[in-house]
Structure 1
């Protein structure tokens, strides 16, 4: 196999696998499992993209103390009940 075949295989399987693993890590899921699922089946990336995490993921998502919803870490207030985060 030449270099172009290796680049094609990496672009076709490696990029979706790495992207799926990164998304899984930011949502508190297993990066290995989701990376292996996303490599041959890239539609799993869309499942991860639209799926909200169920628990707090430090550095990515936090849980509201008032309503219990999970919202992005960078926001200062809850998206759902507008309660101010305590930090």
Structure 2
């Protein structure tokens, strides 16, 4: 009977310890995002030029030096406006 108990209890205990360790090191809920290259629309949303990195978090628009909005480049278009943490 002891053998059956240890055959089931030990692997379960190891699994529980592993899951709690993994959950404590999870990045869910952290607000760190990698910078995203900001692109300026040159002629239309399909012709874009890389300008500068944007944090893409925060409440302020990510702007080029000439105060034009910068966008994320994906699927050969620049349609998603980027944000930044600071106003300037």
Task: State TM-score, norm by structure 1.
Answer: 0.31
Bigger strand fraction: 2
Give the TM-score normalised by the residue count of structure 2. 0.31
The higher relative CO (CA closer than 8 Å, separation ≥ 6) is in: 2
Higher helix share: 1
* Higher Rg of the two aligned structures: 2
